[in-house]
Amino acid sequence: MNGIRFEVAGVLGTGITGALFTTLRVQREGAEHYLRFRRRGCPVIFVLWHGQLLPLAYHHRQEGIVVLVSEHADGEYVARVLTRCGFGTARGSSTRGGTRGLRHLVRAARAGCDLGITPDGPRGPARRFKPGALAVARVTGLPIIPMAAGASAAWRLRSWDGFLVPRPFARVRLAYGPPCFVPRSATRAELEALARDMEIRLNRLSAVAEAPDPPNVR
């Protein structure tokens, strides 16, 4: 019965999201930061705050990106929608099945797939950078690309992450930042410092994406 419920939710979620996003205007800032790696055939690790997942996931649909998704029940709904939008999923999180999920991400990266990680998921605290993405970057040597989204008009769900749902006909702003590389020799203290730095970068990028008239991201 649960499987049927999840499948129905996946179909409905994909249909509703598709209908909504056909009404939106999308502008991108800083896309060259990841496109230069795409042109070389080099995978990247996208990091984004959990609350901004919807517009970013829709814009990058059908690109084969493998996303880390929680093994909790609500993660199953997210996984069904992402799968229907052309994403791969690695199940796990910082609180449940984390090591298994990260191993899956490493295998996907070595197979040439881009990765997507919400470093404050699945339960928060919101906009606090947990180290999972850094661990994957250290093992694979891939660049981390911070990304953020905002909308000129949106609903915010009453969830821990203030999940963003753009209103019909809104202008959606997507912002991408410069890459960050994690040395294989990075110590625990260095990883903690990098996590703080990435948290600052993502929050600054979010301010750009959420601003009424965002400046260019370079």
* pLDDT tens readout for residues 40-70: 999 999 999 999 999 999 999 999 999 998 7
Residue 218 placed within a domain: no
| Token representation of residue 79 | 């996984």
What is d(CA 129, CA 119) in angstroms, rounded to the nearest whole number?
5
Instruction: Give the tens place of pLDDT for each residue, 3-40.
Output: 444 453 444 456 678 888 899 999 999 999 999 999 99
Ramachandran angles phi, psi of 177, nearest 5° = -105, 170
**104 within some domain:** yes
CA–CA gap between residue 146 and residue 198 (Å, rounded):
8
> What's the one-letter identity of residue 173?
R
Q: Which helix or strand (DSSP H or E) is residue 215 part of? A: none
Give domain status of residue 217, yes or no. Answer: no
Q: Which amino acid is at 196?
A: R
Please report how the helices 2-21 and 73-84 are oriented relative to each other, as an axis angle in degrees rounded to 10.
50
The mean predicted confidence, pLDDT, of the chain is 87
> CATH number of the domain that 183 lies in?
3.40.1130.10
Residue 174 lies in a domain: yes
Is residue 215 situated within a structural domain?
A: no
Selection from 115, 71, 66, 108 nearest residue 91 by Cα: 71
In a domain, 52, yes or no: yes
Give the structural domain span for 128. 2-210
Total number of domains constituting the chain? 1
Domain membership flag for residue 109: yes
Q: Name the residue with tokens 């601003």.
A: 211
pLDDT at 209 over 90: yes
Exposed, middle or buried by CB within 10 Å (0-12, 13-18, 19+), for 56? buried
Quick check: is 198 in a domain? Answer: yes
Six token digits for residue 89: 């999923």
Quick check: 73 pLDDT over 90?
no
Q: Is 175 helix (H, G, I), strand (E, B) or coil?
A: strand
Beta strands 164-166 and 45-47, pairing class: unpaired
Kindly state the helix (H) or strand (E) to which residue 164 belongs, with its residue range. Answer: strand 164-166
